[in-house]
Amino acid sequence: MSRFFLSRSSGRLCLISRGAERSPLYVDFTTPALMQRVKRLSPRSELLLKALGGQPGETVVDMTTGLGTDSFLLAAYGYRVLSIERSRTLYLLLCDGLNRALADPSVPEWLQKTLARIHLINADARSVSLLPNESVVPICP
């Protein structure tokens, strides 16, 4: 039996640890902390943007999406983002976070447009064939 399980709590999908006093893990693209990062988003404030050196509108492939923060910030800057996550559990948490934000009528239009620039894939990045127009490929450690 796994130490962790997925459960719906407070309207969101959460990863919960059995028998531990830990907070559930979930994806939320509307947190105040994330909104603050978006407000000051620039290549000066985010080293990932500086390292990429690309232009908004280009496509970026996030080959290890994790909880989606890098993908979200890249999309907020204006990139189209192909987010690849191997873990089925993390992929489901990401889908839930995206779907909740897109379905929430209180989410501002700019945020909905940002989230619409993220395309999630549940796969091992090594097995995904990239299209020739993918201009930048960050590989997160």
Q: Tell me if 2 is assigned to some domain.
A: no
d(CA 58, CA 10): 36
CA–CA dist 70, 116 (Å, integer): 15
> Positive or negative, the Cα torsion across 131, 99, 63, 113?
positive
Residue 122, domain member (yes or no): yes
Q: Is residue 51 part of a domain?
A: yes
Give a yes or no: residue 135 inside a domain: no
In a domain, 136, yes or no: no
3 domain-assigned? no
What is the rounded average pLDDT for all residues in the chain?
89
In a domain, 139, yes or no: no
CATH number at residue 46: 3.40.50.150
pLDDT tens, position by position, 26-71 = 999 999 999 999 999 998 888 988 888 878 888 888 989 999 999 9
Q: pTM to 2 decimals?
A: 0.89
Angle value at C-alpha 107, between 56 and 66, nearest 5 degrees: 60
Residue 113, in any domain of the structure? yes
Domain that residue 59 falls in: 27-127
User: What's the rounded mean pLDDT across residues 99-124?
Assistant: 95
How many structural domains are present in the chain? 1
